[in-house]
Amino acid sequence: MISDLIFMNGYGIYVWLSFVITLGMCSAIYVKTKKTLKKYEKEFLHELRNLSEQEKRKVLQKSKILNQISTTNREVI
Amino acid sequence: MFNFLLPSRIYLLIEKTLKFINSVFFPILLIGLTFALVISPPDYIQGDSVRIMYLHVPSAWIGLACFASMAFLSILNFIFKTKNFFLINKSLAPIGLLFTCLAIITGSLWGKPTWGAFWVWDARLTSMMVLMFFYFFLILSFKFIKDQDKLVKVSSLITILGSINLPIIKFSVDWWTTLHQPASISLGKSSKIDPSMLYPLILMLLVFLLFSALIFLMKYKTEIIRIKKKRIKSL
Amino acid sequence: MLTKKVKKRILFLVSIVFLTAVSIFFIFKVLNDNLLYFKTPSEIKKDENLDFQRAIRIGGMVKQNSLSATSKEIKFIITDMKNEIIVSYSGAIPNLFAEGKGVVAEGKLKDRNYFIAEKILAKHDENYMPPELKKNVK
C-alpha cells in the first residue's frame, strides 16, 4: 500500500517531484511575501511612533486608512 | 466611479479575508492533496502520471487568468487613469509568474513519462514560454523603473500587448498540429474528464485559488502601506 | 463619464490593438508551416516539393495490427484515416506508445510512403478516465 503510493508503477518520481517542487516554490513565495509585509508594517509603525502626540492625532484624524492600519496593529504600538 | 475599490474602504476587509483564508487553507490543502495523490483513480492509459494534472491544469489556468485580469485592468487604467488598478496589477504579477513557471515545470515532468520528452517546440508550449517572458519583463519593469508615470505606461503597454498572446495559447491546440492534447474542459461542452478525476481537479483549483488570494492580499496590503508611509510625512 | 479625453484614449487603444492583431495574423499566415509541429500523412501526400534530406515530423495514429517488432527495429503504420505511411524505428519507445494511439515520429522520408524515424513521441488524447470504466465502455 505505502510502496504503491511511493512508486506509483514507475511514475512516482515524476509525480512526487512535481508535488515537491510546487509545494516548495509556493512556500518560498509565501514566506517572502509575508516577510516584506512585516517589514513594511514595522517601518510604518516606527515612523508613526516617532511623531509627537499632537502630530499623531492630526495624522490619524486626517486619514482613515492610516487609522485602520494602526488599529489593526495596536498591540505593536 | 471605482470608489468601492479605494484602499481605505477595503483595508479592513482585506484583514478579515486574510484571517479567514488562513484558518481554512490548511484543512482544504490536506483534503485536496489526499484526493489528488491517494483517492483519485489512475488513468486508463496514463496510469498514475495523470496525478500531475491536478497541479498542471490549475497552474496553467491561474497563470492565464492573472494575465487576462491584468490586461483588463491595464486597459481600464489607460482609459480612466485609476491609479489603484496599477497597485492591483503589481500584486497580481508575481502570482501569475509563479503559476506560469509551475505549469511549465510540472508539464515537462508530465511530458517525460507520457510523451517521451521533457520539452518540445510545439505551438502550445512555445506560446506558454512567451507568456512567461512577458511576466518576467513586467516584473523587471516594476523593479527597475523608478519614475512612477513612466512605470505605469511601460507596464500597461507590456500587459496589453502581451494579452494578444492569450488567445494564441488557448487556441494553439486547435489552429495547428501540436503534441499537446486539445482542451478537455471547455464551456458549453461536457467535460472529457471522468467525474472521479474532475472533482479532485476542481478541489485542487480551489486550493490554488485560495493560495493566490492569500498572496494577492498580502502583496496588496504591502503596497497600500508603502504608499501611506510616504504620505505620513507630507500630512 | 466619457469625456472627450477618455474617448480619445479608447480610440487610440482600439486602433493600436487592432493594428497589432492584424500584423500578428499576417506573421502567422507566413509562418504557418513552421508552427505546425507535425504533418499528417495526407499533407505529405499532397506536398509537391518534399525534401528528403531534411528531418521532419509526421504524426497520426498507429494503425491497429500494423505493429511488428524484430530484435533490431520496430515497424508500424501511421495513419490519419485517409492516407498511411510506413515507419521504421530502432530505439527506446515511450510508455504510452501503442496501437490505436496517437504518435509523432521525427526523422526523414525515404520515399513518399516510407519514413525512417530517429525519435518517437507518444501523443495522448484529452480523455481521462479510470481503467475500470474503460472496460465497461468496451
Q: How high is the pLDDT of residue A68?
A: 74
Beta bridge pairs of residue C77: C86
Which residue on chain C is closest to B1 by alpha carbon?
A: C1
Out of B41, B114, B122, name the one closest to residue C37 (CB): B122
CA distances from B182 to B49, B186, C123, C126 (A): 18, 10, 11, 6
**CA gap C6, B191 in Å, rounded:** 42
Residues of chain B whose pLDDT is less than 70? 1-9, 233-235
Q: Is residue B211 part of a domain?
A: yes
Q: Which residue has the cell 497520426?
A: C60
**Three-class DSSP labels, chain B:** CCHHHCHHHHHHHHHHHHHHHHHHHHHHHHHHHHHHHHHCCCECCCEHHHHHHHHHHHHHHHHHHHHHHHHHHHHHHHHHCCHHHHHHHHHHHHHHHHHHHHHHHHHHHHHHHHCCCCCCCCHHHHHHHHHHHHHHHHHHHHHHCCCHHHHHHHHHHHHHHHCCHHHHHHHHHHHCCCCCCCCCCCCCCCCCECHHHHHHHHHHHHHHHHHHHHHHHHHHHHHHHHHHHHHHHHC
pLDDT in tens, C38-47: 999 998 888 8
Q: Is residue B12 part of a domain?
A: no
The minimal CB distance from C36 to the residues B53, B117, B177 is found for B177
Domains: count for chain A: 1
Q: Is residue A46 part of a domain?
A: yes
pLDDT at A77 (0 to 100): 44
Query: Rounded to whole angstroms, how far apart are CA atoms A17 and A12?
Result: 8
Pairwise CA distance, residues C96 & B114, whole Å: 6
For chain B, the domain total comes to 1
**Per-residue DSSP letter, C86:** E
More confident residue, C49 or C19: C19
Nearest CB neighbour to B229, from listed A22, A47, A72: A47
Closest approach of B226 to chain A, Cα-based (Å): 7
B186 touches chain C (CB under 8 A): no
Contact call for B115 and C121, based on CB within 8 A? yes
What pLDDT is recorded for position C136?
A: 65
Average pLDDT over chain C reads 85
Burial (Cβ within 10 Å: 0-12, 13-18, ≥19) of residue B82: middle
pLDDT at C86 (0 to 100):
93
Residues of A in contact with B101 (CB under 8 A): 25
**Quick count: other Cβ atoms within 10 Å of Cβ A43?**
13
pLDDT, position A25: 97
The residues with which C116 forms a beta bridge, in sequence order, are: C88, C108
Chain B: residues touching A (Cβ < 8 Å) = 7-8, 11-12, 15, 33, 37-38, 42, 47-49, 51-52, 55-56, 59, 94, 98, 101-102, 105-106, 109-110, 112-113, 211, 214-215, 218-219, 221-222, 224-226, 228-229, 231-233, 235
Higher pLDDT, A75 or C90: C90
How distant is the Cα of B228 from the closest Cα of chain C, in angstroms? 28
Q: Is residue B216 part of a domain?
A: yes
- Tell me whether residues B229 and A15 touch, CB distance under 8 A: no
Q: Which among A17, A25, A47 has CB closest to B232?
A: A47
d(CA B6, CA A72): 18
Planar angle of CA B169, B173, B174, nearest 5 degrees: 110
- Mutation target among B119, B177, B192, B201 for the C interface, most CBs of C within 10 A: B177
How far is Cα B180 from Cα B194, in angstroms, rounded to an integer? 19
Could you give the CA distance from residue B225 to residue C10 in angstroms, rounded to a whole number? 32
A26 within a domain of the structure (yes/no): yes
State which residues form the domain around A15: 2-72
Nearest by CB to A18, which of B106, B215, B232? B106
Is A49 among the domain residues? Answer: yes
Q: Mutate which of B159, B168, B179 to disrupt the C interface (most C C-beta within 10 Å)?
A: B179
**According to DSSP H, which parts of C1-138 are helical?**
4-35, 41-46, 131-137
What pLDDT score was predicted for residue B24?
A: 95
CA B179 vs CA A8, C81, C116: distances in Å? 25, 18, 19
Pairing of strands C114-123, C84-89: parallel
The C-alpha cell of B184 is what?
Answer: 478537455
What are the per-10-residue average pLDDT scores of chain A (77 residues)?
A: 82 94 96 95 84 76 72 58
**What pLDDT is attached to residue A76?**
46
Instruction: Classify residue A77: in a domain, yes or no.
Output: no
Mean pLDDT of C24-31: 80
The cell for B86 is 496599477
Print the domain residue range for B93. Answer: 17-38+49-234
Size of the B and C interface in Cβ pairs below 8 Å: 113
Asked, for residue A31, whether it belongs to a domain, the answer is yes
> Which chain C positions have a beta carbon within 8 Å of B50's beta carbon?
128
The predicted pLDDT at position B45 comes to 86
Question: CA B2 → CA B7, B151, B214, B218, C13, distances in Å?
Answer: 11, 22, 23, 21, 21
Residue C67 CB burial class (10 angstroms; 0-12, 13-18, ≥19): middle
Contacts of C83 (CB under 8 A, 6+ apart): C40, C41, C42, C44, C45
- Write out pLDDT tens, residues B88-104: 999 999 999 999 999 99
Minimum Cα–Cα distance from B74: chain C residue = C13
- Report whether B210 contacts B21 (CB < 8 A): yes
Residue B1 lies in a domain: no
Residue closest to B96 by CA, chosen among B142, B64, B140: B64
Facing residue for A33 by CB, picked from B15, B219, B225: B219
- Whether residue A10 lies inside any domain: the answer is yes
Q: What is the pLDDT of residues B202-223, one digit of tens each?
A: 999 999 999 999 999 999 999 9
CA-CA-CA-CA torsion for C48, C53, C55, C57, nearest 10 degrees? 30
Is B10 domain-assigned? Answer: no
Closest CA to A39 of B92, B11, B229: B229
CA distance A9 to C31: 42
Q: Which three-class secondary structure string do you get for B167-203?
A: HHHHHHHHHCCCCCCCCCCCCCCCCCECHHHHHHHHH
Spacing of C-alpha C21 from chain mean position: 25
Q: Kindly determine whether residue C121 and residue B1, on different chains, have CB atoms separated by under 8 Å.
A: no
In chain A, what residues touch B233 (CB-CB under 8 Å)?
47
